[in-house]
Amino acid sequence: MIPAHSSTGTVLDSIIEGVIEDMGARKATTSPSRMQQLAAEVSPARDAHAALVGGRDNPAGVGIIAEVKRASPSVGPLSNIESPAELAAQYAAGGAAAISVLTEQRRFNGSLADFDAVRARVDVPLLRKDFTVDEYQIYEARAHDADIVLLIVAALDDAQLRDYLALTHELGMNALVETHTVEEIERAAAVEAPIVGINVRNLKTLEVDTSHYGTLADQLPDAVIRVAESGVKEAQDVAMYAAQGADAVLVGEALVRHGEPSQAITDFRQASRP
Ligand SMILES: O=P(O)(O)OC[C@@H](O)[C@@H](O)c1c[nH]c2ccccc12
């Protein structure tokens, strides 16, 4: 794997450089116009908004977005996931509201093949977890029958954010619009993003601070679905995010390293009950 810090720019910058290079190779195989056609041929996306809305008041607990993540730039290899499909089936059995599958290759060791394997196995809404910097990736997500794409505000300018959100909705999908600062929350609000995440991991430095969610949550517009992202180690972390008003919590590392991920999700939900 490539070291976490490149000599110039932030971690996020260097991840995006690799993402653009890898996408160039895929565009050479499947042209943008062909990808648009493929996206149009897939059955309609599942309603992720409906799956996540009202998590705050759900008597069964908040929604869990369970992530299939093999490695991360902050930790390196996380888990030797032999079957992403089997892991996802356990997530679904535990009651995950949605499942996130990393497809970024260089730092997260993910792939669209992992995504396809999970898609073939479960019917819950799936998030194609990647660094979206080109509309090609949104068509590509839909072509692989994704229901949700990730739009990281820090990686996009205002025009991209607006256009990519609109395209996502045109294709019948939802976007998880990820923020980390007050300014990014304001930008997400300005484009009326319906689902907004606060990532407690700073993607520029990889530092994690779970108290960051509570610090920023008040800044989120009332109407949005609120997603707390990253840093969950145990059920009490999920309970804390829930008490701070999260509708859903995105959990990766703790689940891929857990011996019984299905039970872990059940416990997380239980602990978060209002
Ligand atoms: O493994 P954790 O700490 O539970 O985090 C999960 C998820 O929030 C994290 O993987 C993530 C949040 N935003 C991202 C953007 C890109 C890649 C990964 C991420």
Each residue's pLDDT tens digit, 77-97: 999 999 999 999 999 999 999
Which atom of ligand 1 lies at the shortest distance from residue 250's CA?
A: 8
Are 170 and 139 a contacting pair, CB within 8 Å? no
Pocket perturbation via mutation, ligand 1, pick of 65, 241, 250, 258 by most ligand atoms within 8 A of CB:
250
Which residues have CB under 6 Å of ligand 1?
67, 69, 129, 178, 199, 229-232, 250-254
Q: Domains in the chain, ordered, with CATH?
A: 11-271 (3.20.20.70)
The two structure tokens encoding residue 233: 């180690």
The two structure tokens encoding residue 4: 């976490």
The two structure tokens encoding residue 75: 């930790």
The two structure tokens encoding residue 272: 């978060």
Are 225 and 248 a contacting pair, CB within 8 Å? yes
Distance 202 CA to ligand 1 centre (A): 10
Query: Considering the entire predicted model, what is its pTM?
Result: 0.96
What angle do the packed helices 261-271 and 84-94 form, to 10 degrees? 30
At 5 the pLDDT is 44
At 93 the pLDDT is 98
At 7 the pLDDT is 52
Assembly ipTM: 0.98
Amino acid at 263: Q
Each residue's pLDDT tens digit, 192-236: 999 999 999 999 899 999 999 999 999 999 999 999 999 999 999
The two structure tokens encoding residue 72: 């991360």
Are 236 and 268 a contacting pair, CB within 8 Å? no
At 274 the pLDDT is 85
Residue carrying the six token digits 């209002």: 274
The list of the chain residues with pLDDT below 70 reads 1-8
Burial class (CB in 10 A: 0-12, 13-18, 19+), 258: middle
